[in-house]
Structures are given as structure tokens and as C-alpha cells.
Amino acid sequence: MDQQSQIGDVTERLETVEARLAEHAAGPKPDGLTEPDEGGTERWEAAQVWAHMAEFVAYWQAELEKVVDTYAGTPVPFGRTKEDPVRIGAIEEGRHVPIAQLMQQVHDEIGVTRGYLPTLSSAQWASVGLHSRRGEMTVPEIGTLRNTVKDEK
């Protein structure tokens, strides 16, 4: 698949994710806690989930730009762990922000990614990142937050 088709696929996936999130943001706030990730113990209330999404999209975009800007034939290390203090602080701070405002942040940051991807040259599009848990990831995989935002078909 050529680069323009891949950009179209990434854009479509981002739009699908954003629409799904907008539906959740407009609905009632869920009660209770999330189930922990496989092998984990961390459980969140809805406000923490929204805070994470709001901070995460901008973080992931910055990591994508780092990979593209520094790739020179060897996969570029990127990402962070769940224990990252900046991540933890942003989630704690954001959990007190109204969900509608957090959804607006998600919308704005997804827009940044949608606008960024078409500006990449073919050489930049071929950049590869190396995530500590997910391994090598291509620009389309990083750009769609692949393996991060769970697909719901």
C-alpha cells in the first residue's frame, strides 16, 4: 500500500476512535473502576481514564515526531512506562477536569496528528521506532496509537 493510502487508513482509524470517544464523552459517566490491564493491578475511575487519554495523545504525537526527526536507519527508542512520574502527575491533575474539556483536548490533539502525517516525506514515513514493550513500530502504527487504543469493531 502506498503512503497516501496508508495516511488515509490512519486518518480513518483516528476519526473512528475519536467518534467512539465522543459518544462516550456525551453519555453518562460510568461508575466503578476499570479492570486492570493483563498482569497488572491498577484500576481507574472514569475521570482517570479520560485524563490519561487527554495527556496521552499529545505525548504520543511528541514521541512520533521524535522518531521521525531522529531516525537514521536504526529504530529510535521511544515511549515510557506506567511508572513515569509525568504520566502519573498528568493523570492525577486531569482527573479533576470536566470530561467535555478532556474530550476537547483529545479532539485537538488527534487533529494535530491528522495534520502532521501528510507533511511527511517518504523517507520520514519509513522511520521506525523501538518501544520497550511493543518492539519496533512503524510511523502508521505509532500514528494510530496502535496497540495502545484497543480496537472495537
Nearest to 68 by CA among 151, 4, 150, 138: 138
Nearest to 136 by CA among 64, 56, 76: 76
Where b means 16+ CB within 10 Å and e means fewer, 36-53 reads eeeeeeeebebbbbbbbb
3-26+47-143: CATH homologous superfamily?
A: dinb family like domain (1.20.120.450)
Per-residue model confidence as pLDDT tens digits over 38-72: 888 989 999 999 999 999 999 999 999 999 999 99
pLDDT in tens, the chain (153 residues): 899 999 999 999 999 999 999 999 999 989 999 999 888 898 999 999 999 999 999 999 999 999 999 999 999 999 998 889 999 999 999 999 999 999 999 999 999 999 999 999 999 999 999 998 889 999 998 888 654 544 333
Distance separating alpha carbons of residues 37 and 135, to the nearest angstrom: 18
